[in-house]
Amino acid sequence: MRERMRLPMGLRLRPWESSDVLAVREAFAEPVMERQADVPITTLADAESWVQTRQEQWRRQVAYSFAVVDGSDTALGGVTVSNLHDEHATGWVSYWTAFAARGRSVATHGCRALADWCFTDLGLFRLELGHRTNNPASCRVAQGAGFAAEGIQRQKLVYDGIRYDVEMHARLATDPRPGPV
Ligand SMILES: CC(C)(COP(=O)(O)OP(=O)(O)OC[C@H]1O[C@@H](n2cnc3c(N)ncnc32)[C@H](O)[C@@H]1OP(=O)(O)O)[C@@H](O)C(=O)NCCC(=O)NCCS
């Protein structure tokens, strides 16, 4: 199973490393990122624990989380496949990009490479993801990575007392590869 992949624009995917702790803490300091983590990440120790959890999940083969890094090996974002279901060969994809690196196709390239890896190295057949309908950037990432929209789950999530619709997307191993970014 490959652990490192070269992407366009000098980007690479690799597993999270202890050297990423500072970048992780900075990325999760943004309020909009709070919901991308299962526990709050405010200190370096929190970030270190987050990285260790990703490494542990990889060892246990329950989820595979990659850093998307630039040419100087700085983590700009993350892409993950989790909720792996062996019988049906499915997985759930998620992604984020650090605020300073947004709008440079980091998430789109990362998500494309993750999908290719899931189909080839993990042998998955169907990858799913969902985004709140008020998150158009995430929708564009899904589309750019070849995940077709499959419908709205009405008022699926509740944050701060407000319910949100979620749009589901999926990509199959047999779907056409997406065109150039
Ligand atoms: C969503 C997110 C991952 C996008 O990351 P990114 O690296 O900036 O994404 P990319 O540069 O690959 O692509 C962004 C696309 O969204 C578009 N976009 C960006 N902001 C947008 C907005 N407010 N409205 C509409 N489209 C927007 C860009 O133009 C681009 O579209 P294109 O492919 O047609 O050019 C990033 O904003 C993020 O991390 N947000 C917080 C966490 C999050 O929401 N994760 C997804 C949860 S489902």
Asked if pLDDT for residue 38 goes beyond 90, the answer is: no
Residue 173 within a domain: no
Q: In the 8-state DSSP scheme, what is residue 15?
A: E
pLDDT bin (cut points 50, 70, 90) of residue 46 is very high
Cα 138 to ligand 1 centroid, rounded to whole Å: 5
Residue 35 confidence (pLDDT): 87
Residue 56 within a domain: yes
Residue 66 confidence (pLDDT): 98
Gap between the Cα atoms of 134 and 159, Å rounded? 13
Residue 78 within a domain: yes
Residue 165 within a domain: no
The region, left, alpha or beta by phi > 0 then psi within -120 to 50, assigned to residue 10 is left
Q: Which helix (H) or strand (E) holds 88?
A: none
Domain that holds residue 100: 5-125
Cα 60 to ligand 1 centroid, rounded to whole Å: 31
Residue 180 within a domain: no
CATH classification of the domain holding 78? 3.40.630.30
Give me the chain's average pLDDT, please.
97
What are the two backbone dihedrals, phi and then psi, of residue 161, each rounded to the nearest 5 degrees?
80, 0
- The number of folded domains in the chain is 1
Residue 40 within a domain: yes
- Which residue has its alpha carbon closest to ligand 1 atom 3? 96
80 close to ligand 1 (CB < 6 Angstrom): no
pLDDT bin (cut points 50, 70, 90) of residue 181 is confident
Asked if pLDDT for residue 69 goes beyond 90, the answer is: yes
- Model confidence over 87-114: pLDDT tens digits? 999 999 999 999 999 999 999 999 999 9
> 88 with 126: CB under 8 angstroms?
yes
103 close to ligand 1 (CB < 6 Angstrom): yes
pLDDT bin (cut points 50, 70, 90) of residue 61 is very high
Cα 86 to ligand 1 centroid, rounded to whole Å: 30
Residue 96 confidence (pLDDT): 98
131 close to ligand 1 (CB < 6 Angstrom): yes
Residue 152 within a domain: no
Residue 19 within a domain: yes
| Complete DSSP assignment for 137-158 | HHHHHHHHTT-EEEEEEEEEEE
